[in-house]
Amino acid sequence: MPLRVLNPRRTPWQGVLNYRSWALGEVMDRIEDLPAALDAAIREQPVRVERLRAYFRETFELPDTPTAPIGADAIASYLRRAA
């Protein structure tokens, strides 16, 4: 999954948790830079694959147990507290 982010407003994103995924690819400010960035994304993909996989594992860390019972327990716990 090649990642390129267009940031025309030049949002300060470095070090901001909500923008953490932006660091997985190239961030550009101008749409004119997109064609070259997409070409580079294809060439760089083999190098970035492990970093993307690590990010996925951290973001969607799955336990050894099925997640449906965990979610059901969380909902039941919330409903007991709300009652």
What does the pLDDT profile of the chain (83 residues) look like in tens digits? 568 899 999 999 999 989 988 988 889 999 999 899 888 888 888 888 888 888 887 887 766 777 788 889 999 999 999 87
HSE of 74, CA atoms in CB hemisphere, 13 A:
5
CA atoms of 42 and 58, how far apart (whole Å): 24
CA atoms of 7 and 29, how far apart (whole Å): 5
Answer yes or no: pTM beyond 0.75.
no
Q: Which amino acid is at 29?
A: D
